[in-house]
Amino acid sequence: QVQLVESGGGLVQAGGSLRLSCAASKRIFSNNGMGWFRQAPGKEREFVAAISWRGENINYADAVKGRFTISRDNAKNLVFLQMNSLIPEDTALYYCAAALKSAASVVASQYRYWGQGTQVTVSS
């Protein structure tokens, strides 16, 4: 069964932190790069962060560099997004995605499987 389930979203004040988690089925997690994307109301989905299968390559969007950290636990089929120093502009629906290759791709079209998303709202 192909499954990606995000959790950890919520409402937080500006300057606060949240940790998103994504649980993936082994079939789509193993050997594949994983990414986080987000979509704010009225805007297109945008890349946030990506990590390669073995974690040796990581990419971040400029908007989140220095504030967000992506990581993965390959033994548990989990990927995380630690978000610190949150700002209202980070408010969006955050999606976890699994690619069909091991690289940390920044392009949405490289990702085959997507979760349903978890809402992050940052108040000013």
Note the pLDDT of residue 2.
72
C-alpha separations of 39 from 31, 48, 52, 104, 110 in Å: 26, 10, 22, 19, 17
pLDDT band at residue 10, thresholds of 50, 70 and 90?
A: very high
Report the percentage of the chain scoring pLDDT > 90: 97
Q: What is the pLDDT of residues 21-47, one digit of tens each?
A: 999 999 999 999 999 999 999 999 999
Q: What is the pLDDT of residues 102-117, one digit of tens each?
A: 999 999 999 999 999 9
Name, in order, each residue with C-beta under 8 angstroms of 58's C-beta and a sequence gap of 6 or more: 49, 50, 51, 52, 70, 104
| Cα–Cα dist 72/53, whole Å | 9
Identify the bridge partners of residue 80 per DSSP, sorted by sequence position: 21, 71
C-alpha separations of 45 from 15, 19, 73 in Å: 23, 20, 25
CA 46 to chain centre: 11
